[in-house]
Chain A
Amino acid sequence: MNTSGYISRIFGTSPVRPLQKHMDKAAKCAHKLPKLIRASYQDDWQKAVSVREKIVLLEHAADNLKRDLRLNLPKSLLMPVSRSDVLEMLSRQDRIANRTKDISGLIIGRRIVIPEPIQKAYLEFLDSNLDAVTQARRSVHELDKLYESGFRGAEADLVMQMTDELGRLEDQSDELQIKLRANLFALERDLHAVDVIFLYKIIDRTGDLGDIAQRVGSRLLMMIAR
């Protein structure tokens, strides 16, 4: 005899927890970067390589979560948010982990060390971007309460405030990026040309982290607005 009851089969898997878990992995991955950078400053490449390995593992873990969620999201699902918003947010979150892997790969592969005069400024810039990532992670963790409250009212207002703050953090890291590039420009002629190209690349990709974090927040807003 049928022992499950038909009704339980109509409930699909909620994307909330998987999205949050994925964001946790991506954020954790990004937060490994300062450790790797500090190791490179101290010329401790053994340590840097082991941090890089952790980053790669976390990026893989995020990829797996992404795959699982995509497989659990058939088109026939009726959800309070649009399916494309969920998928788009997922791929943005995933890019945080991907960018982190890129940055760490560049540094390890070419044994790049940020030049001494801008080392402190780069770490400050990185931290500012990671603050944006943390803020995005916090906003994603409001998703379960948004679902509970039905995406409107006081809880939605709170998430809007959180994404405003995310925008502010992103502006702040943009300013730091401009300063950092100006400082690097001043040092340029004393450095090896190819290294300079890659330094700019690293700064760009680091700046991407904050940028992507902000876009995660803006997708969250679109979910609310539907």
Chain B
Amino acid sequence: MELAIFYIILAALFALFMAWGIGANDVANAMAPSVGSKAITIKQAIIIAAIFEFAGAVLAGGGVTSTIRRGIVDASLLSGQPELLIFGMLSALLAAGVWLLIASRFGWPVSTTHTIIGAVVGFAAIGIGFSAVQWPQVGRIAMSWIVSPVIAGVIAWVLFMSVQWLILHRDNPLKYARRYVPMYMFLAGFFMTWVTVDKGLAHVGLDFTTLQANLLALLIGGVVTAIGTLFVLRIPYQEPEKRDFHFVTVERIFGVLMVITACCMAFAHGSNDVANAVGPAAAVVSVALSGDVTQDAIVPIWILILGGIGIVVGLATYGHRVIATVGQNITALTPSRGFAAGLAAAATIVMASGTGLPISTTHTVVGAILGVGLARGIAAINLRVVGSIFMSWIITVPAGAGLSVVFFLLMRTLLG
């Protein structure tokens, strides 16, 4: 393929731009439960986000990236014309980037995931042919968009009910917070590691047996718990008689847990959303290099790293301001609530990443917050705004699809 280098550079640039957009806008929504609870400073949130978004993208971003690069378009139809796949994936990236710019400009709550899936499905269905789309897989993805907020909501509900039952309803909540909060730390560390390792780290040169994976998860869970407990013990104990400060101190203990939750959330977000940027680019690179549309090779790690870098740069140039605004605007979340919502969303997202399902972080977080609300944990949730966030994908998918068809037809005429 004569223009291979040109296509690869173009794909890398587009992917970098998309990743930049995700870092600039999306990370703020992922970090909202953490910064909203004020348990961590904005500066800490940004450092945590930078490190764990990158780690999530590189270590666990491969599954969803594969789905987007070869799970949606049936490439066997294109074996004679690999350029079409390249044009399609480039237009999908361009369409998603443009649509997200427009939406951000007007403050519409659109999801990056929905845009990119809409764009890939769009160019394949209209530009190539209806049968070029692997509809069963697309159906699974659409289902996961409905199921993921529900699952996050249920987990958040269960987590927060357990917090109430184990800690908040007691005569001496502080005593029980010191006892049980480390348990939640272990749960968070263990689960996140277990899902990530179980899914495989072969692409970074680590291959574990099931036993090794379980041991590693236990080890990391243990280390997280030990460090967290040290910080919890540094918070001075108060007798329950000092009632006005009692719950404040309880929340400070949850604040330590919130730091861990923030790490999980950033990791989960990186693992799922980096694919929106690098999935199409990975397809372009693979087809351009081999001239073959089957894309049998695993996702090259440099592409995941590129996406991770884009997210971190987006965070550093612009996202930190959005995070700061979100942190100031949310006053209703205390760390005990933020933890339940954040960990539930992180668990749901990382499970989806493990399964290779691209889901919307924002929707999952909103579902988790609703779950805490239904457990009587949040003073007031505006259901109309919740509704508009969930409804937005109804226009996002066709918008992404339409734009990508336009770009695809343009590119085919100009370059093909």
- Complex-state Cα separation, A134 to B109, whole angstroms: 46
- Complex-state Cα separation, A8 to B384, whole angstroms: 13
Cβ contact of A15, chosen from B160, B334, B379, B389, cutoff 8 A: B379
- Complex-state Cα separation, A9 to B333, whole angstroms: 13
Chain A residues with Cβ under 8 A from B25's Cβ?
A: 1-2
Does B105 sit within 8 A of A, measured CB to CB? yes
Chain A residues with Cβ under 8 A from B323's Cβ?
A: 5
**B369-405 with Cβ < 8 A to chain A:** 369-370, 373-387, 389
Shortest Cβ gap from A225 to chain B (Å): 12
The 0/1 profile, CB within 8 Å of A marked 1, for residues 165-197 of chain B is: 000111101000000000000000000000000
Shortest Cβ gap from A74 to chain B (Å): 7
Chain B residues with Cβ under 8 A from A152's Cβ?
A: 164, 169
Q: Which segment, of B202-210, B270-278, B284-292, B324-332, faces chain A? A: B324-332
- Complex-state Cα separation, A15 to B380, whole angstroms: 8
Does B321 sit within 8 A of A, measured CB to CB? yes
- Complex-state Cα separation, A2 to B25, whole angstroms: 8
Question: Which chain A residue has the least Cβ–Cβ distance from B25?
Answer: A2
B29 near A7 (CB under 8 angstroms)? Answer: yes
A8 near B330 (CB under 8 angstroms)? Answer: yes
The 0/1 profile, CB within 8 Å of B marked 1, for residues 1-30 of chain A is: 111111111111111100000000000000
B168 near A149 (CB under 8 angstroms)? Answer: yes
When A145-B243, A150-B375, A152-B169 are in contact, do A6 and B389 touch as well, CB less than 8 Å? yes
Does B236 sit within 8 A of A, measured CB to CB? no
Question: Which chain A residue has the least Cβ–Cβ distance from B36?
Answer: A8
B366 near A5 (CB under 8 angstroms)? Answer: no
Closest 6 interchain pairs by CB? Answer: A153-B169, A14-B379, A12-B380, A80-B376, A8-B329, A6-B109
Cβ contact of B333, chosen from A11, A149, A154, cutoff 8 A: A11
Chain B residues with Cβ under 8 A from A12's Cβ?
A: 332, 379-382
Cβ contact of A79, chosen from B106, B160, B173, B380, cutoff 8 A: B380
The 0/1 profile, CB within 8 Å of A marked 1, for residues 314-350 of chain B is: 0000100111011001111110000000000000000
For the complex, count residues of B whose C-beta is within 8 A of A: 57
A76 near B376 (CB under 8 angstroms)? Answer: no
Cβ contact of B326, chosen from A4, A15, A16, A76, cutoff 8 A: A4
A14 near B380 (CB under 8 angstroms)? Answer: yes
What bracket does the count of chain A residues touching chain B fall in?
Answer: 20 to 34
- Complex-state Cα separation, A79 to B123, whole angstroms: 44
B325 near A4 (CB under 8 angstroms)? Answer: yes
- Grouping DSSP codes into helix (H, G, I), strand (E, B) and loop, the B interface class, with mixed when no group exceeds half, is helix
A10 near B381 (CB under 8 angstroms)? Answer: yes
Cβ contact of B169, chosen from A5, A74, A147, A150, cutoff 8 A: A150
Question: Which chain B residue has the least Cβ–Cβ distance from A81?
Answer: B376
B322 near A153 (CB under 8 angstroms)? Answer: no
Question: Could you pull out 30 A-B pairs where Cβ atoms are within 8 angstroms?
Answer: A1-B104, A1-B105, A2-B104, A2-B108, A5-B29, A5-B323, A5-B326, A6-B29, A6-B362, A6-B385, A7-B365, A8-B326, A10-B385, A11-B331, A12-B381, A13-B380, A14-B332, A16-B379, A76-B382, A77-B381, A79-B381, A80-B378, A80-B379, A145-B247, A147-B379, A149-B173, A151-B376, A152-B164, A154-B169, A154-B170
- Complex-state Cα separation, A6 to B321, whole angstroms: 14
Question: Which chain B residue has the least Cβ–Cβ distance from A154?
Answer: B171
- Complex-state Cα separation, A11 to B384, whole angstroms: 11
Chain A residues with Cβ under 8 A from B105's Cβ?
A: 1-2
Cβ contact of A3, chosen from B164, B169, B325, cutoff 8 A: B325
Most chain B CB within a 10 A radius of its CB, from A2, A14, A78: A2
A7 near B366 (CB under 8 angstroms)? Answer: yes
